[in-house]
């Protein structure tokens, strides 16, 4: 990150802390939280460039974002096509070199094994959700840190590319939102048709299938400050019922060969600074 943008973030954080607190949610106990959202990296063992890109991601973050609290991976992290768990193991080997903790939800790729004992939900959770600070509930997890709740929600349907929250997932999110802490949801499938698809099949394949119910039950909570999704590989920042609703451009879509996208996020109470960044 450049020094200028770093100063801008600090400046906005100072301004935010000096402003009267208007929101009804708790705002006094949170510290600044900094993380990066990387989604849809689609690492594939048959494509060495996709593996190099992941090493570049880790090196870039370790060099330029030394004070991150964690990295969030949004799913479709690897294509789950290689024999058994070999691509999951490679992804983990690379992610383990990050200087900070990382947490991940599944994408449809991780939920769609193709026949040679690729990892399933149980194997995924064993490999990627075993950190002691994660409260794993069914397919989902909660991270409580610095006064924030970070919810990793599994939007996948086994052996399908479309997504839907189960009733258990919605109920879990409701329970956590009722704690009234600033809360971030990370999942794979986006909540809105932000790219203006007109074909029903496109909408079905990409937008969370029960998004109306999910928005009705979750988005009215004023402490739901941010959602982070992926899947469509297209970047979008919108607001829905006062919640900042973001889909981060797929890491698989570089601007140039060595310029892979991800999103930097800084939270200060209910204040959100975020921007799309690229490896350089
Ligand atoms: Fe996906």
User: How far does residue 138's CA lie from ligand 1's centre (Å)?
Assistant: 21
User: How far does residue 11's CA lie from ligand 1's centre (Å)?
Assistant: 36
Query: pLDDT in tens for each of the 280 residues of the chain?
Result: 444 443 344 434 444 444 444 444 555 567 999 999 999 999 999 999 999 999 999 999 999 999 999 999 999 999 998 888 999 999 999 999 999 999 999 999 999 987 777 788 999 999 999 999 999 999 999 999 999 999 999 999 999 999 999 999 999 999 999 999 999 999 999 999 999 999 999 999 999 999 999 999 999 999 999 999 999 999 999 999 999 999 999 999 999 988 999 999 999 999 999 999 999 8
User: How far does residue 234's CA lie from ligand 1's centre (Å)?
Assistant: 11
User: How far does residue 147's CA lie from ligand 1's centre (Å)?
Assistant: 30
User: How far does residue 106's CA lie from ligand 1's centre (Å)?
Assistant: 9
User: How far does residue 29's CA lie from ligand 1's centre (Å)?
Assistant: 35
User: How far does residue 20's CA lie from ligand 1's centre (Å)?
Assistant: 40
User: How far does residue 19's CA lie from ligand 1's centre (Å)?
Assistant: 39
User: How far does residue 141's CA lie from ligand 1's centre (Å)?
Assistant: 19
Going by their DSSP bridges, the two strands 33-38 and 261-268 should be labelled as antiparallel
| Residues 186-243: tens digit of each pLDDT | 999 999 999 999 999 999 999 999 999 999 999 999 999 999 999 999 999 999 999 9
Phi, psi (deg, nearest 5) at residue 195: -95, 5
Q: Do 184 and 216 contact (CB within 8 A), yes or no?
A: no
Number of alpha carbons in the 13 Å side-chain half-sphere of residue 139: 23
Query: What is the spatial distance between Cα 97 and Cα 92, in angstroms, rounded to a whole number?
Result: 9
pTM: 0.89
């Amino acid at each position: 990150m450049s020094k200028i943008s770093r100063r801008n973030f600090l400046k906005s954080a100072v301004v935010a802390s000096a402003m009267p607190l208007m929101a009804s949610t708790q705002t006094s106990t949170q510290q600044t939280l900094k993380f990066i959202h990387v989604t849809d990296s689609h690492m594939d063992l048959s494509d060495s460039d996709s593996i190099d890109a992941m090493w570049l991601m880790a090196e870039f973050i370790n060099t330029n974002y030394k004070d991150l609290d964690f990295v969030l991976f949004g799913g479709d992290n690897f294509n789950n096509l290689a024999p058994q768990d070999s691509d999951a193991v490679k992804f983990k080997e690379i992610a383990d070199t990050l200087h900070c903790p990382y947490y991940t939800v599944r994408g449809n790729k991780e939920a769609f094994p193709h026949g040679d004992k690729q990892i399933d939900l149980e194997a995924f959770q064993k490999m990627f959700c075993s950190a002691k600070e994660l409260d794993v509930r069914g397919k989902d997890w909660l991270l409580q840190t610095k006064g924030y709740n970070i919810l990793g929600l599994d939007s996948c349907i086994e052996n399908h590319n479309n997504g839907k929250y189960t009733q258990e997932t919605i109920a879990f999110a409701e329970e956590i939102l009722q704690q009234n802490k600033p809360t971030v949801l990370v999942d794979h499938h986006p909540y809105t048709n932000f790219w203006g698809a007109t074909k029903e099949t496109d909408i079905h394949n990409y937008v969370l299938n029960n998004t109306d119910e999910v928005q009705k039950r979750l988005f009215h909570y004023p402490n739901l400050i941010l959602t982070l999704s992926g899947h469509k590989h297209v970047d979008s920042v919108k607001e829905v019922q006062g919640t900042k609703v973001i889909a981060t451009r797929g890491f698989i879509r570089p601007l140039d060969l060595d310029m892979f996208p991800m999103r930097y996020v800084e939270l200060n109470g209910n204040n959100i600074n975020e921007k799309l960044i690229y490896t350089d």
